[in-house]
Amino acid sequence: MLQINQLKLPVEEASTKENEYSALLYRIAGSLHLNSDMIDEIQIQKKSLDARKKPQLFYVYCISFKIKNSSLEEKILKKKHSADITRFKLVSYQLEMTGTKKMLHRPIIIGMGPAGLFCGYTLSKAGYCPVIYERGKRVEERIRDVEEFWKNGKLLINSNVQFGEGGAGTFSDGKLNTLIKDKNGRNREVLRIFVENGAPEHILYDSKPHIGTDILSKTVASMRNKMLEWGAEINYESTVTDFRIEKNIVTGIEINNKKIIPAETVILAIGHSARDTFETLYHHNIPMVAKDFAVGMRLQHRQEHIDYIQYGRDNRGKSFPAASYKLAAKTAQDRGVYSFCMCPGGYVVNASSEENRLAINGMSYSGRNANNANSAIIMSVTKADFGSDHPLAGIHFQRELEEKAYKLGNGSIPIQYYHDFTGKSGKREYIKEPFEPCIKGSYIFSDLRSLFSDSVKAAFIEGMTQFGNIIPGFDDDYCILAGVESRTSSPVRILRDTVYESEVKGLYPCGEGAGYAGGITSAAMDGLAIAEVIAKKYYP
Ligand SMILES: Cc1cc2nc3c(=O)[nH]c(=O)nc-3n(C[C@H](O)[C@H](O)[C@H](O)COP(=O)(O)OP(=O)(O)OC[C@H]3O[C@@H](n4cnc5c(N)ncnc54)[C@H](O)[C@@H]3O)c2cc1C
């Protein structure tokens, strides 16, 4: 098999799958001076959108293909071509089951977010019959609880946007890209498992794969059903409230403050919002440290404005995706300000999980066809901002912000036009008049200026000004702010060694909550890594 890299196609030629296929075939044949009948098994391996020459837009591909007369392949590789032709190699993922130790107890997984779910899926498929404890509910019931919360403000502290089957990522934009290097095929394996459970094939090659909440929740249910078929046991509404540790070895867990379960291997995949569990772990002297993260506010623009700026075109219709952006700046005070978890054609959502505290995030459906684009504009915060290096100081810092946001909105999401936040106005070149916010959960106009310290607020405005120089209209008067984005990543890191084990033997800190991942795919990859460790140590 061969592959051709950096093959460009005007987006108009890829308006349908059939058009795309014949245009690619024609170009590959052309660049090899071969008859297109000689080429077979064309497969897109990578596809990205190139808007550098906007309004002319191109898709850039990496395509694998076969020459029917295979003896020709060597000749083609040796010959000089205008196109970049190489040999195609597919990295396939393999779980090495070389464990020689007998398990005294079935492996226990705490939490069914991407980390716990992909660890559980891989161990179940390999015959390890894991037992999972999830404090929330099955995804179908959870969706009802979250919709009820957004409609009537009734928060269930264990069934919400943060907690429940599928974890924090279930009500999300479902962006599946990650910056983590993928030496061992885990990234592709995560995407392959999503496709195996109903996600569209194109996520395997899109440079920015995304599936949206509607598809994500279905893949979670499909994975769960397969795990049960393969012998896993899943316990919902089962919060791990304590741990049994003897001579620095985990020997058991406690469920819902009553039931004790003996344990030997415990995968701690609790996510960044399990503050009560972090406190329990701290009181057991589980080695952990405070971790820097970032906080900020969500910013909304009209999606058509972002499309126009990024693509140089109006009315993109269905032919190419809603435009996105990724921005980063450094302030004069050397604080990082950047856009985070951008949701094209999405919603700002109330993502709270504690009474009288309000946290927001963003989500979209697979179609990304809501009227507004949003992202979090966040500023890095460190122990200096927390005012202490206590391992749980970051949690305290988050809670303070969320209490302020709750009060500013009187329980609803507090929002404000940018010019009211800065106290300056007159920038209405691109956003000439106010527009309707896209928000899941009740919201109210309020004054967000007291949310952050002066230095964090100043950094925000400095960053926005820099971004307005990159994307015209980005800091216009009528763009809409909402507060507070406080859970951008875990405020703690639970220490582990090179084989992913805590100093407390048998305990495996995993995923975002443990401080080793940021995002759905990287958390799932961390889950796979721990499944590999278990499979190398124990036999099923
Ligand atoms: C609204 C929103 C949108 C997001 N959008 C994206 C996106 O588009 N793309 C992206 O890559 N990332 C996104 N993220 C981040 C992503 O969701 C997380 O990085 C990812 O879910 C982390 O996975 P995890 O398995 O480590 O933890 P989590 O997903 O947080 O899962 C932890 C699970 O553990 C359970 N749990 C916690 N404590 C206990 C306990 N004591 N006992 C039993 N169970 C427990 C929780 O109920 C939860 O289900 C988003 C997050 C949110 C909140």
pLDDT over threshold 80, residue 318: no
Among 286, 512, 516, 525, name the best residue to mutate to test ligand 1's pocket (greatest count of ligand atoms within 8 A of Cβ).
512
| Percent of the chain at pLDDT exceeding 90 | 89
On the question of pLDDT at 173 being above 90, the answer is: no
Q: How far apart are CA 105 and CA 78, in angstroms?
A: 56
pLDDT of 146 reads 98
pLDDT of residue 143: 97
CA of residue 185 to ligand 1 center, whole Å: 22
How remote is the CA of residue 36 from the centroid of ligand 1, in Å?
A: 47
Lowest mean pLDDT among 89-98, 103-112, 282-291: 89-98
**Residue located nearest, by CA, to atom 5 of ligand 1:** 172
Beta-bridge partner residues of 338: 328, 378
Ligand 1 atom closest to the Cα of residue 343 is: 8
Write down the pLDDT at residue 322: 93
Q: Which residue CA neighbors atom 27 of ligand 1 most closely? A: 271
Which residues does residue 494 pair with via DSSP β-bridges, in sequence order? 288
For 26-60, how does the pLDDT look when each residue is reduced to its tens digit (9 = 90+)? Answer: 999 999 988 999 999 999 999 999 999 999 999 99
Distance 122 CA to ligand 1 centre (A): 18
Output the pLDDT for position 500: 98
Which residue, by CA, sits nearest to atom 45 of ligand 1? Answer: 111
pLDDT of amino acid 314: 76
- Round to whole Å and give the CA distance between 358 and 404: 8
Assign 441 a pLDDT band (cuts: 50, 70, 90).
very high
Ligand 1 atom closest to Cα of residue 169: 17
Q: Measuring CA to CA, which residue among 34, 42, 37, 38 is closest to residue 18?
A: 42
The pLDDT assigned to 430 comes to 84
Is residue 15 predicted with pLDDT exceeding 80? yes
Map residue 82 onto helix, strand or coil: coil
Q: Is the CB of 373 under 6 A from ligand 1?
A: no
Residue keyed to tokens 């990650």: 178
Residues 281/287, Cβ–Cβ less than 8 Å = no
What single string gives the DSSP state of each residue in 164-209?
Answer: STT-GGGSS--B----S--TTSHHHHHHHHHHHTT--GGGGTBSS-
Edge-first strand listing for the sheet containing 249-255: 240-246, 249-255, 259-262
User: pLDDT grade, residue 81 (50/70/90)?
Assistant: confident
pLDDT for 79: 81
Helices (H), 237-294: 275-283
Ligand 1 center to residue 368 CA distance, Å? 21
| Atom of ligand 1 minimally distant from the CA of 526 | 26
Q: State the distance from the centre of ligand 1 to the C-alpha of 167, rounded, in angstroms.
A: 4
Distance CA 292, CA 382 (A): 5
Give residue 326's pLDDT band: very low, low, confident or very high (50, 70, 90): very high
492 confidence band (pLDDT: 50, 70, 90): very high
271 Cα: distance to centroid of ligand 1 (angstroms): 5
pLDDT per residue over 194-249, tens digit each?
A: 999 999 999 999 999 999 999 999 999 999 999 999 999 999 999 999 999 999 99
Position 101 pLDDT exceeds 80: yes
Coil, strand, or helix at residue 132?
strand
φ/ψ of 264, rounded to 5, equals -125, -40
Cβ of 281 below 6 Å from ligand 1: no
Return the pLDDT at 8: 95
Q: What's the rounded mean pLDDT across residues 285-309? A: 96
> Which atom in ligand 1 lies closest to the alpha carbon of residue 177?
11
Q: What local confidence, expressed as pLDDT, does residue 253 receive? A: 98
Q: Of 182, 186, 194, which is closest to residue 93 (Cα–Cα)? A: 186
pLDDT of residue 181: 80
Mean pLDDT of 144-164: 98
Counts of helices then strands in the chain (DSSP H, E): 13, 24
pTM, full prediction: 0.96
User: Residue 407: pLDDT band by 50, 70, 90 thresholds?
Assistant: very high
Report the distance separating Cα 306 and Cα 325, nearest Å: 8
- When pLDDT is cut at 50, 70 and 90, the band that residue 426 belongs to is confident
* pLDDT(179) > 90: no
Mean pLDDT of the chain: 95
**Nearest alpha-carbon partner for 416 in 492, 482, 323, 344:** 482
Least-confidence region, from 75-79, 338-342, 500-504: 75-79
Q: What is the pLDDT of residue 480?
A: 98
- Ligand 1: atom nearest CA of 166 is 49
pLDDT for 72: 86
pLDDT one-digit tens code per residue, 346-374: 999 999 999 999 999 999 999 999 999 99
Q: How confident is the model at residue 91, as a pLDDT?
A: 77
As a whole number, mean pLDDT of residues 334-345 equals: 95
